[in-house]
Amino acid sequence: MDLESYMNKRRWNSYWYQIQEVKNTNPEKVLEVGIGHGIVSDYLKKLGIEVTTFDINEEREPDVVGNVLNLTEHFENNSFDTILCAEVLEHLPFEKFTKALSELAASTKESVVLSLPVFGLPIHFEFSVLKKDINLTTRLPSPIKYEGAQSHHWEINRKGYSKKRVLKEIRLFFKVKKRVHRSWQQLSSDFYSQENSEG
């Protein structure tokens, strides 16, 4: 992988939002599922937050190597105040989404920050109201059937994976406190800040 092209402006924007959403939960202990290049966890540690990293790829040198489908084999229930799982679960078949969510729910005391990719045509509006800048971004769902581009098995708004269907699965385990849609040219994500429904 060419790190220079991978670490583009869109990716940095995503990292910024991941950090902000985690900070908003006021955690002491955080689990980052999917370490990436370690930028988010390094920053959170500099804020004085205790961060444990978890990844299936041992070459990324996480604190714990494992599969998100087996989190509870590595950690006791309610081990973390907040779990960050950004751009990870779409790499699993959708049939395993519910199992992954159940593992996240069991491992957190309070919150999960979940980021999932959104597919569709980007539409962006910018305007001012009473000297305040307003930015609105959304994506129109695509009628094209998803054929498994790159390493994603599914994305929100791909045919068969509506936002309604995805949210239905999330709400089995969590109360969604906040949904933020962020779009940067071709990269678009929904960030879900949610409380453990059992907490």
Confidence of residue 187 (pLDDT cuts 50, 70, 90): very low
How many C-beta atoms lie closer than 10 Å to residue 127's C-beta?
Answer: 9
Confidence of residue 159 (pLDDT cuts 50, 70, 90): confident
Confidence of residue 101 (pLDDT cuts 50, 70, 90): very high
* Burial category of 128 from C-beta neighbours within 10 Å (exposed 0-12, middle 13-18, buried 19 and up): exposed
* Burial category of 67 from C-beta neighbours within 10 Å (exposed 0-12, middle 13-18, buried 19 and up): middle
User: Please, what sign has the CA dihedral across residues 102, 166, 27, 34?
Assistant: positive
How far does Cα 195 stand from its chain's mean position? 14
Q: Which residue has the higher pLDDT, 32 or 10?
A: 32
Contact 60, 86 (CB under 8 A): no
CATH number, domain containing residue 147:
3.40.50.150
Instruction: Kindly report, residue by residue over 17-73, the tens digit of the pLDDT.
Output: 899 999 999 999 999 999 988 999 999 999 999 999 999 999 999 999 999 999 999
Total domain count, the chain: 1
Instruction: Print the domain residue range for 18.
Output: 3-196
Tokens of 146: 């998803």
**What is this structure's pTM?**
0.81
